[in-house]
Amino acid sequence: MQTLAELEIGAEAYVSRLDAPPPDAQRLMEMGLTAGAKVRVMRQAPLGDPLEVAVRGCRLSIRRADAQAVILSGDDHV
Partner 1 sequence: MSDSRPDGNEAGILHIALAGNPNSGKSTLFNLLTGLRQKVANYPGVTVEKKEGVLRLPEGLEVHVVDLPGAYSLNPRSPDEEIAHDVVLGLRDDTRPLDLLVVVVDASNLERNLFFASQLLGVGRPVVIALNMMDVARAAGFVIDVPSLQLALGVPVVAMAANRGEGVAELRAVIARQLTAPSVPRERIPLSPSVAEIVDAAGEAMVAAGLAKLDWARGEVLRLISSQKALDHRRLAGAPSVRAAVEKARGELAARGVAWHTLEATQRYRWIESVLRRARGQREVSENVTDRLDRVFTHRVLGPAILLAVVFAVFAAIFQLAQYPMDAIQSGFDATGRLALRLLPEGLMQDMLVNGVLAGVGSILVFLPQIMLLFLFLGILEDSGYMARVAFIMDRVMGRVGLHGKAFIPLVSSFACAIPGVMATRTIENARDRLVTILVAPLMCCSARWPVYFLLAGTFIPPVRVFGLIPLPAIIIFAMVVLGVVAAVLMAGVFRRTIARGENPSLILELPPYRMPAFGAVFRVMIERGWIFVKNAGTVILAISIVLWALSAFPRRPGASPSEQIRQSYAGKIGHLIEPVIQPLGFDWKIGVAILASFAAREVFVSSMGTIYGVETADSENPTDLRERLRAEADPATGAPFFTPLRAVSLMVYYVLAMQCMSTMAAVRRETGGWKWAVFQFAYMGVLAWGASFLVWHGGRWLGFP
Residues that bind partner 1 (CB under 8 A): 17-18, 21-32, 34-35, 37, 42-43, 45-50, 52, 56-63, 66
Report how far residue 11's alpha carbon sits from residue 67's, in angstroms, rounded to the nearest whole number: 15
Taking the complex as a whole, how short is the minimal distance between the CB of residue 2 and partner 1, in angstroms? 20
3-class SS of residue 45: coil
Taking the complex as a whole, how short is the minimal distance between the CB of residue 6 and partner 1, in angstroms? 18
Phi/psi at 49 (5° precision): -150, 140
Of residues 6 and 64, the one with the C-beta less far from partner 1: 64
